[in-house]
Amino acid sequence: MGQREKSILVGNNTFDVLLSSIDGVTYFDKRSTNISLINRSEKLSIGMKLYTFSYSISGDQPGWISYQTYNPNANDCGSRYSEWDTIYIQRKLNTPGISGSNIICNNYTTYTATSYDTPSETFTWNATDGVKIYKNGQYLTSYTGTETSVLVYEPVSGSGNGNVKVKANATNYESSNQAIKEVWFGDMHPMNIRLNDAMIGFPKSEFCYGDPNLVEASFIDGDPYIDEWDWDVTGGYITIENPYDDKSRATIHPASYSSFNVKLRAHNSCGWSGWADMGVSVISCGGYFMTMFPNPASSYVELSFIDSEVEEPNLTKNKIKLKKDKKDTDKDIKEYLVLILDKNGTIRKSIKSKSLNLNIKTSDLEPGTYFLHLIYNDELYKQQLIIQ
């Protein structure tokens, strides 16, 4: 039969035994009381009969299954029944859990084995990649004992990710697999903080002036379990999407070529890192800035389209960045459509133009809140307009 032992996890579990014989031979089985037959199937394949016996086993004790074959075509000189052949079912301890902090902050941290099987007698602990087990005044990388908890200490210097591991052992049982818990130790160095282009994942050092630049903060040397990011942007505007995450995204609009800068720092349960200066610069990526003045308006509102390659306008809430058509010249741009809608969505004015400066009469509109819609290069841009 070949197979003599099979290892099954402690607890109520199912397993299969696969057997084969020549066609015409029948298998019989008997088994220990903690094992039950669920199903038996057979099929013929290339002159051989393949059997699948499906069993369930309960509790935490070992078991056994014995098989006997009957061959009706056996030689008259021998028995048609074979001797009983036994498979011993060994029990393997389930992998325990590990409770304890993900971060070691300049002190001893307790880690505890959890959810281990009742037969467990001892636990083998291992600490790797810098962290050590503290036991009886010694710093160890491995320790086996009856204790379900150990103290783990970070190294004197350095930082990074280490591992705390544990497996359960018991007499007459196969030891469990190792449970592994990754932990962070040491400081978060600012030099490992990166600012990436959120769309492509590459480092971001150049920002398009006036454009929305979607960026992502990350830490490149292991996982320090960051729970918050702090952004410091000068010479621009920032909208932060998710500061409370291991990676934080933000949209940044540079408002100055000369004074723009971005700094980042990260926080975990040990505290804040130092500030990391991202060393960024601002470039022109083409296009127009559309400014709307005055707003609020009374008798008129003027739209001005300024080529970003030529002039740096003052950025205000009444500014919109438009993508420039390659065919546009410095004097004219592609035709655009301006709509002014009231709060009910009714179009009150509709103007087509190719001018870089468009004066729109508003004295014939009642005071209130309106919405200016600009359609340019099949893109819709919206801005609120107040009429006094």
* CATH assignment of the domain containing 230: 2.60.40.1080
> Residues 198, 277: one domain?
yes
Among 191, 241, 236, residue whose Cα is nearest residue 215: 241
Q: Tens digits of per-residue pLDDT, 27-69?
A: 999 999 999 999 999 898 887 889 999 999 999 999 999 999 9
> Residues 256, 303: one domain?
no
> Residues 270, 201: one domain?
yes
Q: Tens digits of per-residue pLDDT, 173-206?
A: 999 999 999 999 988 999 999 999 998 889 999 9
Please check whether residue 275 is in contact with residue 238, taking contact to mean a CB–CB distance below 8 angstroms: no
> Residues 176, 195: one domain?
no
- What is the pTM assigned to this prediction? 0.68
* CATH assignment of the domain containing 369: 2.60.40.3080
Kindly state the DSSP code that residue 203 receives in the 8-state scheme: B
Boundary (domain end) residue, out of 236, 257, 283: 283
Q: What is the mean pLDDT of the chain?
A: 90
Boundary (domain end) residue, out of 283, 301, 335: 283
- Quote the pLDDT of residue 159: 87
Q: How confident is the model at residue 378 (pLDDT cuts 50, 70, 90)?
A: confident
> Residues 301, 381: one domain?
yes
Please check whether residue 108 is in contact with residue 183, taking contact to mean a CB–CB distance below 8 angstroms: no
Contacts for 214 with CB less than 8 Å, ≥ 6 apart: 197, 198, 199, 249, 250, 251
Please check whether residue 102 is in contact with residue 182, taking contact to mean a CB–CB distance below 8 angstroms: yes
Boundary (domain end) residue, out of 140, 166, 185: 185
268: domain range? Answer: 191-283
* CATH assignment of the domain containing 40: 2.60.40.2020
> Residues 177, 109: one domain?
yes
Our count of domains for the chain comes to 4
Distance from the first to the final alpha carbon of the chain: 96
- Quote the pLDDT of residue 44: 86
Q: Tens digits of per-residue pLDDT, 138-171?
A: 999 999 999 999 999 987 678 899 999 999 999 9
Report the SS3 class of residue 326.
Answer: coil
> Residues 292, 377: one domain?
yes
Please check whether residue 113 is in contact with residue 149, taking contact to mean a CB–CB distance below 8 angstroms: yes
> Residues 125, 170: one domain?
yes
> Residues 297, 381: one domain?
yes
> Residues 318, 363: one domain?
yes
Please check whether residue 328 is in contact with residue 376, taking contact to mean a CB–CB distance below 8 angstroms: no
* CATH assignment of the domain containing 178: 2.60.40.10
Asked, as a colleague might, if the bond just before 203 is cis with ω within 30 of 0, I would say no
